[in-house]
Structure 1
Amino acid sequence: MSASITTVGLGWSTPEGRPVFSSLDLAFNAERVGIVGRNGVGKTSLLEMLAGTREPGVGKIVVRGTVAVLRQIVQVGPGETIADLFGITHDLAVLCRAETGEAGLDELADVDWTLEARVASALARVGLDAPADTLLVSLSGGQRTRAAMAAVVLAEPDFLLLDEPSNNLDREGRTALLELLGSWRAGAIIVSHDRELLETMDAIVEMTSLGATRYGGNWSDYRAQKAVELEAAHRDLDVAQRQLGEIERKAQVATERKQRRDGAGSRKAARGGMPRILAGARKNNAENSSGENARLAQRQRAEASAAAILAREQIEMLETMAVSLAPTGLPPGKVVLSLQDVTAGYDPAAPVLRDLSLTITGPERVAIAGPNGSGKTTLLRLIAGVSEPWSGTISRTARFAMLDQTAGILDPERSIAENYHALNPGTDDFTCRSALAKFQFRADAALQRVGTLSGGQILRAGLACILGSPAPPQLLILDEPTNHLDLDSIAAIEAGLSAFDGAMLVVSHDEAFLEAIAISRRLNLAPWPPR
């Protein structure tokens, strides 16, 4: 029997009882399927259920075949190696003893003589040139992601589950990912907002608050089909609203006509021109007729209203996020940041950054570029004061704030509103709620605990707490800010940052994002020592 994954009536709610999705009936086979949708609709939760690491609230999942998962973030310990990530540390040790003649007979019976070659092939397939004993802590975030990709490749599963796999990857890593998926012949289910990656899919599943819909073809095919559906839904809504208006108009005309008849009858009866019995009979007939007409009008109105509601639901009326920022008051000629001959890293024998100098003046927008491992995140941590350089000086002469990929400035045990107040002391509740509402955290949504949010929602909450401040930072430091945001949120953030009048220092592999926020110049980093 061929491998497959099927969901039947799948549903899930947050621990607080907020419904996330319901009645999902999906089927996956040996194909590449992209899962798309706005932040918070449950994409990652669905993937975790398919992987068996999260229990559904209702419904069931039937998996025929093996499953391997590539997660968004690879957590690593100080002594963990690529071999640990692969789960083959013991097997490699046995192989090493066998090659040196030190293995026992029972160990020799289980030796996998092809293991080293298969590991090397898996690493090469994702473009990572590193031995299996490489410490994970010595790799950049993108290199760790590639190592995790190689681990699932080595497992040769029937289904590969990937959650935002292109996050943190440089151009070389993204190319390796695209080549891997392009040659993948088993099943692959990918949660992503990366349009380049989604163009390689065989099908797209869109998750919304209304459920999940499958579209055949890649991203462009999905967008074309979606445009046709939305156009039809808008037509249906227009027809339903016109019908409801016509029913309301006819009901109003009938009411006015009855009022005129009742008035004329009352005046005639008052003049005594009609026998009392006949007047009473006519009154009863009129009341019965008007009652029947009222019930008919009410039924027609209810049917037309239901049709309008159904059409409106199909369009899924969601407000677009609009970001407007308070002025920073940064003078054009002010030096906001200065680095002089900075050297830093983790291993004294191999600095990540060496004799680096950088000055940012006024509202400059500087992008830090370079391949994974060249020290981009290390540099941001130094500038933010999270770590200290081995030598050289760093001078910060303006208000600054840093938002990293995980929005580490937020306390996961606090609500979004509580985090806002903690990061902006002295602000009143009205200011807090107004700022959060601009980032689509309205009413009770602002009271959600950060630890219950999706990756995209957490990053959006971090941006809300920083950019929504009455006195926003004059220097904004961003580390891959678009990694977990859906496409609509990215567009809104781009619009907001375009109007930002402060300085920016940005690390991003998203070229479209850098172009949209009008980067002034780039600082290109290279790995040290030079390759």
Structure 2
Amino acid sequence: MPASITLSHLSWSTPDGHALFSGLDLSFGPERSGLVGRNGVGKTTLLKLISGDLQPRSGRVIVHGSLGRLRQAVQVGPDETVADLFGVTDALALLARAEAGHASTEELSAADWTLETRLAAALARVGLPIEPGTALTTLSGGQRTRAGLAALVFAEPDFLLLDEPTNNLDREGRRAVIELLAGWRGGAVVVSHDRELLEAMDAIVELTSLGASVYGGNWSQYRARKALDLAAARRDLTEAEKRRDETERKAQIAAERKARKDSTGRKARAKGDAPLLLLDAKKERSEKSGGAGARLAERQQSQASEALAKARERLEILQPLSVRLAPTGLPADKVVLRLDALRFGYEPLRPVLDGLSFTLAGPQRVAVTGRNGSGKTTLLGLITGRLQPQAGSVWVLPGAALLDQEVSLLDPCETIRDNFKRLDPQSDENACRSALARFMFRADAALQKAGSLSGGQMLRAGLACVLGGERPPSFLILDEPTNHLDIDAIEAVEAGLRAYDGALLVVSHDESFLDAIGISHRLELPPTA
């Protein structure tokens, strides 16, 4: 039987009773499927249900074939090695004994003489030429992710279940993962907001609060279909509004007609122009007819309102987030950042940055790029004052704002609204609520505590608080801003940053994002020795 994953009438709710899936029917075959959707819609939960880490409230998950799952973070113990991650520590030890002439005849017959070659090939496929005995604690987060993916490929499962496999990877690591998946011939279900990776998919599965929709083809083909869906949803909403208005108009005309007939009947009764029995019979017929008409009108109005609500809900799901920013007024020649012969290292004789000079003036858009470990985070620490240079100097325009991956500018104990008011005390309540609404924090959503938000919601709230005011900062520093955002939010941020007229310094490995926001210069940091 061909490998497959089938979800049948699947339902699952969070511990507080919020239903993520209800009666979900979905299937995956031996192809590469990208799983997309807004943050909080249940993408990671769906992978956990498929892998058996969670059990559905109702329905079934049927898997034909083997699964290999890569989680967002590869957790490691202090003594674990790459060989432990692959599950081949004992097999490698046997080969070592055999090569030393200490293995028994029985052990020699069980030895896998191709193991070392296959291990090296799996690691090479993800661009990680390291020894199996390497301690995992010595690897960066991105290197651990690549090692975990190599271990999955080595096991040769029928399906790969990957949760944001390119998060925190540098350009080289992202390229290795994309190439690996492009050549993968088994099944794969990939949760990702990496549009370059999604271009390598055979199908895109979109999760929304309405369920799942499957689109054949890669990311570009999916976006084209979505544009058509959005246009259709707007037409449906217009038609639903017309039907609702027409139904209400007809109900009003019918009510006015009945009121006139009732008035005529009352006048005739008062004059005594006709026998009471005849008038009573007419009244009874009128009341029956009027009651039936009222019930019919009420039913039609209810149906029209329900259709309108559904049309609005679908448009809300399909409509991309829209961000508009106020101008900063930054002059074209105003210096916002100056680095002069900057030197810094965590060890005295091993500088991470050595002799770095750079000037950013006016509304330039600069991407800081380089491999993991080349000093990008260190440079941001020096620019923001968290670190002090060992030599050289840093000057930054006062009022510059940093939005880091932890969104540390937000107080987790305060609501989003209160954070906004603290960071922009000049804004009145209407301006505050309007700014937050543009970033999809409407009404009570703006009253959520920042500490209760998901990673993507937290970053969106940080962007709202930094950029949403009447006078955004003239210089904005972003540290991997897309890592925890869903694609709709990324595209909204891109739209907002394209309209931003201040200076940008961005650390990001997301080339699609950098292209979209119009990066004009690059500061490439060389690998550290």
Band of TM-score, shorter chain: 0.7 to 0.9
1: distance between equivalents of 2:302 and 2:397? 64
State the 1:170 CA deviation: 4.2
State the 1:148 CA deviation: 2.7
2: distance between equivalents of 1:376 and 1:404? 12
2:524 corresponding residue in structure 1: 524
Q: Does 1:417 align with 2:390?
A: no
Letter in 1 for 2:27: A
Q: Is the contact made by 1:410 and 1:419 (CA closer than 8 Å) also made in structure 2?
A: no
2: distance between equivalents of 1:345 and 1:107? 49
Q: Is the contact made by 2:230 and 2:318 (CA closer than 8 Å) also made in structure 1?
A: no
User: C-alpha offsets along residues 376-409 of structure 1, whole Å, 9 cap, x if unaligned?
Assistant: 2332233334445554443445234433345455
State the 1:141 CA deviation: 4.7
2: distance between equivalents of 1:362 and 1:235? 43
1: distance between equivalents of 2:498 and 2:224? 29
Q: Is the contact made by 1:10 and 1:58 (CA closer than 8 Å) also made in structure 2?
A: yes
User: C-alpha offsets along residues 62-90 of structure 1, whole Å, 9 cap, x if unaligned?
Assistant: 33333222233445677765445434455
State the 1:120 CA deviation: 0.9
State the 1:270 CA deviation: 3.6
1: distance between equivalents of 2:395 and 2:80? 35
State the 1:188 CA deviation: 0.3
Letter in 1 for 2:64: R
Query: Are the structure 2 counterparts of residues 15 and 472 from structure 1 closer, same or farther at C-alpha, using a change threshold of 3 Å?
Result: farther
Query: Are the structure 2 counterparts of residues 258 and 329 from structure 1 closer, same or farther at C-alpha, using a change threshold of 3 Å?
Result: closer
The gaps in structure 1 that reach 5 residues or longer are: none
Letter in 1 for 2:154: L
Q: Is the contact made by 1:95 and 1:113 (CA closer than 8 Å) also made in structure 2?
A: yes
2:354 corresponding residue in structure 1: 354
1:12 corresponding residue in structure 2: 12
Pairing of 1:22-421 with structure 2 (within 5 A)? 22-75=22-75, 81-89=81-89, 91-101=91-101, 111-134=111-134, 136=136, 139-316=139-316, 320-325=320-325, 335-345=335-345, 350-389=350-389, 391-407=391-407, 414=413, 416-417=415-416, 420=419
1: distance between equivalents of 2:410 and 2:94? 45
Q: Is the contact made by 1:193 and 1:485 (CA closer than 8 Å) also made in structure 2?
A: yes
Query: Are the structure 2 counterparts of residues 108 and 13 from structure 1 closer, same or farther at C-alpha, using a change threshold of 3 Å?
Result: same
CA RMSD of aligned residues (A): 3.6
Query: Are the structure 2 counterparts of residues 112 and 471 from structure 1 closer, same or farther at C-alpha, using a change threshold of 3 Å?
Result: farther
Q: Secondary structure at the match of 1:62?
A: strand
State the 1:229 CA deviation: 4.6
State the 1:157 CA deviation: 1.6
TM-score, structure 2 normalization: 0.85
Q: Is the contact made by 2:417 and 2:432 (CA closer than 8 Å) also made in structure 1?
A: no
Query: Are the structure 2 counterparts of residues 370 and 359 from structure 1 closer, same or farther at C-alpha, using a change threshold of 3 Å?
Result: same
Letter in 1 for 2:45: S
Give aligned-pair identity as a percent. Answer: 59
1: distance between equivalents of 2:55 and 2:119? 32
1: distance between equivalents of 2:421 and 2:262? 67
State the 1:207 CA deviation: 0.6
Letter in 2 for 1:273: D
User: C-alpha offsets along residues 273-324 of structure 1, whole Å, 9 cap, x if unaligned?
Assistant: 3233332332222222222222232233333333444444444456653434
Moved more, 159-168 or 452-461: 452-461
Q: Secondary structure at the match of 1:222?
A: helix
State the 1:500 CA deviation: 3.4
Q: Is the contact made by 1:367 and 1:505 (CA closer than 8 Å) also made in structure 2?
A: yes
Moved more, 375-384 or 466-475: 466-475
Query: Are the structure 2 counterparts of residues 294 and 395 from structure 1 closer, same or farther at C-alpha, using a change threshold of 3 Å?
Result: closer
User: C-alpha offsets along residues 481-521 of structure 1, whole Å, 9 cap, x if unaligned?
Assistant: 12332333223212322343443211223334334433342
The gaps in structure 2 that reach 5 residues or longer are: none
Q: Is the contact made by 1:353 and 1:375 (CA closer than 8 Å) also made in structure 2?
A: yes
Letter in 1 for 2:509: H
Q: Secondary structure at the match of 2:245?
A: helix
State the 1:49 CA deviation: 2.5
Q: Secondary structure at the match of 1:181?
A: helix
1:510 corresponding residue in structure 2: 510
Q: Is the contact made by 1:98 and 1:108 (CA closer than 8 Å) also made in structure 2?
A: yes
Query: Are the structure 2 counterparts of residues 335 and 92 from structure 1 closer, same or farther at C-alpha, using a change threshold of 3 Å?
Result: farther
1: distance between equivalents of 2:223 and 2:89? 45
Q: Secondary structure at the match of 2:49?
A: helix
Q: Secondary structure at the match of 2:34?
A: strand
Letter in 2 for 1:424: L
Q: Is the contact made by 1:420 and 1:432 (CA closer than 8 Å) also made in structure 2?
A: no
Q: Is the contact made by 2:397 and 2:475 (CA closer than 8 Å) also made in structure 1?
A: no
Q: Is the contact made by 1:363 and 1:502 (CA closer than 8 Å) also made in structure 2?
A: yes
Q: Is the contact made by 1:139 and 1:373 (CA closer than 8 Å) also made in structure 2?
A: no
1: distance between equivalents of 2:383 and 2:106? 55
Q: Secondary structure at the match of 1:206?
A: strand
State the 1:256 CA deviation: 2.2
Q: Is the contact made by 2:424 and 2:469 (CA closer than 8 Å) also made in structure 1?
A: no
State the 1:222 CA deviation: 3.1
Q: Secondary structure at the match of 1:482?
A: coil
Query: Are the structure 2 counterparts of residues 428 and 141 from structure 1 closer, same or farther at C-alpha, using a change threshold of 3 Å?
Result: same
Q: What count of residue pairs does the alignment treat as equivalent?
A: 528
State the 1:35 CA deviation: 0.9
Q: Is the contact made by 1:204 and 1:214 (CA closer than 8 Å) also made in structure 2?
A: yes
2:442 corresponding residue in structure 1: 442
2:459 corresponding residue in structure 1: 459
Moved more, 151-160 or 246-255: 246-255
TM-score, structure 1 normalization: 0.85
Q: Is the contact made by 1:416 and 1:461 (CA closer than 8 Å) also made in structure 2?
A: no
State the 1:269 CA deviation: 3.8
2: distance between equivalents of 1:183 and 1:317? 33
State the 1:121 CA deviation: 0.2
Query: Are the structure 2 counterparts of residues 101 and 337 from structure 1 closer, same or farther at C-alpha, using a change threshold of 3 Å?
Result: farther
Q: Secondary structure at the match of 1:378?
A: helix
Q: Secondary structure at the match of 2:482?
A: coil
Moved more, 291-300 or 379-388: 379-388
1: distance between equivalents of 2:325 and 2:249? 45
2: distance between equivalents of 1:130 and 1:286? 90
Q: Secondary structure at the match of 1:25?
A: strand
Q: Secondary structure at the match of 2:342?
A: strand
Query: Are the structure 2 counterparts of residues 305 and 123 from structure 1 closer, same or farther at C-alpha, using a change threshold of 3 Å?
Result: same
Q: Secondary structure at the match of 1:285?
A: helix
Q: Is the contact made by 2:416 and 2:450 (CA closer than 8 Å) also made in structure 1?
A: no
State the 1:326 CA deviation: 5.8
